[in-house]
Amino acid sequence: MAESDIADVPMDPSVNYEIGQDNIQTSLGPFGLDIHNPVFLVSGLGILAFVLGTLMFPEGATTLFNGIRGWLTNHLDWFFIIAGNVFVIFCLLLIVTPLGNVRLGGEDARPDYNYFGWFAMLFAAGMGIGLMFFGVLEPVYHMAISEPLGVPSPFDADGNLIPENVAAARAMGMAATTYHWALHPWAMYAVVGLALAFFTYNRGLPLTIRSAFYPVFGNRVWGPTGHVIDTVAVFATLFGLATSLGFGAEQAVAGLNYLFGIPNTEVVKVILIIAITAVATTSVLKGLDGGVKRASEINMVLAFILLLFVIFTAGAGRIFGDFFATLRAYVGELVPLSNPFGRTDDGFRHGWTAFYWAWWISWSPFVGMFIARVSRGRSVREFVICVLLIPSLVCTLWMAVFGGTAIEQALTNPDSAIKAYVIDSYSPELSLFGMLSELPLASITSVIGIILVIVFFVTSSDSGSLVIDTITAGGKTDGPLPQRVFWCLLEGLVAIALLLGGGLAALQSMAVATGFPFAVLLLLMCVAVWMGLRAERRGKPLG
């Protein structure tokens, strides 16, 4: 969105824009950086200090990261689960109430992108790397190992099949996975995206996280309160992105080792992150339409090709049966899985659900702002339906195709690669390639899988850099190129530091640590959005 677009929005008489400009003003600093004091300096220097400390003291960092994640997921799992439920209920209310009639940008606004381009960017930014890493792994793991809600595994301690446990375990494996990838995460993204789009396009506020809290805090959002909100958003976004980049690096290097014998070492992972960060930097320089949109559409086509290949080679009839069975199981188990109390599946709640909710929440500033930038002209109802329901169905289909095929392989072939990589000896980064190895043209489809991971890596990194640049520049979407490059490079450095300072455990720990404070802000954001939409419907100012 260009600054001229904001200039066309009528100013809200309740907002003191002069205070806002005085306190979020930017100035051209060293190396051509459009410095937003103090958010740019605090977040930039703080993250650099974190990178240096992690690289200098990797063992201490590993202990610290594991302690942070363990405490938060073990003691605050109830908070994350309740917060996730609130976000889903809030979004569903917006669909069915008259507030859904409000159009982002005003009654005369029209969408900037067609549905295909819009969906491609939503999908690539919101879930790409995660679906590639967990799409095969998670359904099999929940079926056979984690035992959500106490549903027993279909395998005994020696790996032998227990036929009477198969049906229930299979249904629960798919339901538990869909629970993590459908309504709840997309509701988190929808809340942030809707808040930013509404307060920017309808009320003329800067495109930055603090603007969404104006109905709650008033003109204090232009002062220290707003600085804290934006700084927390930057930290959450960067560490959430670094977690995804770490998963992508682990899977891509494992695939290269699996196919071509390239060593699976920390050095190779670092080289891969550097190379992909360089590609992402090039994409960042081309901007939203020239780089991110094009890469997202390429990924959409490749993902669709791989999806169709698995459907037709693994059995279309069975897979579509799995899809509808998964939807039934998900709807049937949604309430029990969403209950934070009175459950005994601690490993599932702590190790998976609490981590996932914190990870999605840490991603929400990035994905939400990205969605806001490409969603002008949509009604609130259209926005929520498309951001919440349609991606949820796509993710469910993806899990039914890849996860359902992997479960079938594990149950019918005791010597299958997927059983070896997930159940017998845990190698999660190889699960996708293990599943593909049981299908025709495995070498070709595995290469496509690696390319998908890498391009998803690029789209996450470049779009994340644009978002962080916007936050630290006070809502400006056309910051100088050196600043975009700075954030893109810093994302790569954080991913490298966390991989070297504790591997995936360190990446997951920082996502959880930054996701918790932003979860509190996200709950407040629901209140602000409700207040803002009601004022819009009544033709009243925000104050």
pLDDT 10s digits, 322-343: 999 999 999 999 999 999 998 8
Whether 241 has a pLDDT exceeding 50, the answer reads yes
pLDDT above 90 covers a percentage of the chain that reads 44
Over range 404-424, report the average pLDDT: 93
Residue 436: closest CA among 444, 426, 428: 444
Query: What's the confidence (pLDDT) of residue 366?
Result: 80
User: Is 340 inside a domain boundary?
Assistant: yes
Q: Is residue 22 part of a domain?
A: no
Q: How many domains does the chain have?
A: 1
**pLDDT at res. 532:** 95
Asked whether residue 518 carries a pLDDT value surpassing 80, the answer given is yes
pLDDT of residue 275 exceeding 90: no
pTM of the model: 0.89
Element containing residue 36 per DSSP (H, E): strand 34-36
Place 36 in a pLDDT band, splitting at 50, 70 and 90.
low
| Domain annotation covers residue 140 | yes
Q: Is the pLDDT of residue 538 over 70?
A: yes
Of 33-47, 115-129, 376-390, give the lowest mean pLDDT range. Answer: 115-129
**How many Å is the Cα radius of gyration of the chain?**
22
Mean pLDDT value of segment 473-477 = 75
Report d(CA 374, CA 387) in Å as an integer: 12
Residue showing tokens 């929520």:
384
pLDDT for the residue numbered 217: 93
Range with the poorest average pLDDT among 122-126, 152-156, 449-453: 122-126
CATH of the domain at 531: 1.20.1730
Per-residue pLDDT at 14: 66
CA distances from residue 276 to 121, 239, 281, 283, 421 in whole angstroms, order as listed: 19, 17, 8, 11, 27
Please list the helix, strand and coil fractions of the chain in percent, rounded to the nearest 5, in that order.
Answer: 80, 0, 20
pLDDT of residue 292: 60
pLDDT value of residue 184: 96
Whose tokens are 């809600």? That residue is: 149
Q: Is residue 23 part of a domain?
A: no
- Which residues, 6+ apart, have CB-to-CB distance to 116 below 8 Å? 297, 300
Mean pLDDT of 374-396: 90
pLDDT of 4 over the 60 cut: no
Note the pLDDT tens digit of each residue in 187-203. Answer: 999 999 999 999 999 99
Q: Is residue 59 part of a domain?
A: yes
Q: Is the per-residue pLDDT at 3 higher than 50?
A: no
Regarding predicted confidence, which is higher, 140 or 390?
Answer: 140
Mean pLDDT of the region 131-160: 92
Per-residue pLDDT for 141 more than 90? yes
- Asked if residue 129 belongs to a domain, the reply is yes
**Model confidence at 21: pLDDT above 70:** no
Q: Is the pLDDT of residue 296 over 70?
A: no
Burial 2-35 (b: 16+ CB within 10 A, else e): eeebbeebeebeebeeeebeebbebeebeeebbb
pLDDT at residue 365, as a whole number: 86
- Mean pLDDT for 17-21 is 54
DSSP 110: -
Confidence class for position 6, pLDDT limits 50, 70, 90 = very low
In-domain check, residue 543: no
> What is the pLDDT, as a whole number, of residue 421?
92
Give the chain's mean pLDDT. 85
Does any domain span residue 366?
Answer: yes
Would the CA dihedral through 60, 66, 72, 75 be positive or negative? negative
Q: How far is CA 121 from CA 117, 264, 450, in A?
A: 6, 31, 20
Residue 488 has pLDDT above 60, yes or no: yes
Full residue range of the structural domain in which residue 404 is found: 3-17+28-538
User: Which residues are registered as beta bridge partners of 36?
Assistant: 26
The CA distances from residue 104 to 61, 110, 212, 268, 526, in Å, are: 44, 9, 14, 45, 17
Average pLDDT over residues 420-442: 91
User: Looking at the predicted structure, is the pLDDT value of residue 540 above 70?
Assistant: yes
Q: Of the ranges 116-125, 460-469, 524-533, which one carries the lowest mean pLDDT score?
A: 116-125
37 three-class SS: coil
DSSP letter at 161?
B
Q: What is the pLDDT of residue 289?
A: 55
What's the rounded mean pLDDT across residues 398-403? Answer: 94
